[in-house]
Amino acid sequence: MTEQNTTDSTHEKNTPSFDAENERASSATKLTIGLAAVAIIVVVGVVVSLVMVFRGDDAEPLVSLDPTTGNATVVEDKDSLFEPDPVFDRFERVVYVPLDPNGVILSETIASANRPDTQAPSGVMLQRIHGNMDLPFSTSDGPTGFTDNGVATGFARTPQGAALAAAHYLSYLLSGVNRVEMVAEAGHSTDPTLLLEGLRVPDNTGVSAAPLVNVTFHPDLTLVKLGATVERSNGSTEIQLTKFPLVWREGTGWVVQLDPTVMSSGFEPVSAEGWQQWW
């Protein structure tokens, strides 16, 4: 009789743990599915047709290292900070190659107080960090530094800062287990354990930040959609995208919110509202 009661008690105690483990496994599976589709955009580099109208006529130009452009304060000594020649990425954008594998923090400029949410961050420069990750840096919205293990941080609490953070952290998640571990170690996810159970791709996989962004901004929780235009099998051109939620944590900044119900991928018409090309 006592033995039966002990068994029942154990069963009662183990069931919630078992359910929790199943729930975690389900979340990890959903997270993997959500990230896997967008890997086509960022990692594989499908044939894209960039729609330049997204950037807008009033958007500021990308940073140039030519002092005659007036951006000389961005990088004071390019020869000691970057390789002599820039390169093209898979989207045929100009990318600068810093000598420091983490990247180069750009001199800060003050953004306009009445800047609209849809305006591009100022002084955007694409940099090839860690050997094969082509990611955007800006003078107005970060990053402003690096964690001890080389992950960019210090993105502004603005729509532009959230978009820059999303471009960086999503790329880490899609460029290999070793780089996923960097984000987990840096504390830039809500659940490091779940993060490490997500998408598995080979270490040091090359990535290029998706060129299009669409931000639904709130200072505490922001949804960033990242995408690129693709030619579909039916001949139409659409935006292939992923949804990437970020939560603000005091003392840390933007952190990837690992919510499998939100983090998903899909397609939208090119005419859909809110899309911008910021880099």
Length of the chain as a residue count: 279
Overall number of domains in the chain: 1
* Beta carbons of 146 and 152 less than 8 angstroms apart: yes
* Full domain range(s) for residue 74: 31-277
The angle formed by the CA atoms of residues 134, 103 and 193, to the nearest 5 degrees, is 75
CA–CA dist 276, 212 (Å, integer): 6
DSSP state of 55: G
- pTM for this model (two decimals): 0.80
Helix (H), strand (E), coil (C) string for 146-196: ECCCCCEECCCCCHHHHHHHHHHHHHHHCCCHHHHHHHHHHCCECCHHHHH
CA–CA dist 198, 205 (Å, integer): 15
* Beta carbons of 255 and 246 less than 8 angstroms apart: yes
Q: Which residues of the chain have pLDDT under 50?
A: 1-16, 18, 20, 33, 37-61, 64-73
Residue 171 counted as domain residue:
yes
Residue 120 counted as domain residue:
yes
Residues 6+ away with beta carbon under 8 Å from 166: 213, 224, 226, 244, 246, 254
CA–CA dist 121, 56 (Å, integer): 13
Residue 11 counted as domain residue:
no
Across the chain, mean pLDDT equals: 81
Residue 90 counted as domain residue:
yes
Q: What is the pLDDT of residue 22?
A: 53
Q: What is the pLDDT of residue 49?
A: 33
- pLDDT tens digits, one per residue of 28-64: 555 554 555 444 444 434 333 333 334 444 444 455 4
Residue 21 counted as domain residue:
no
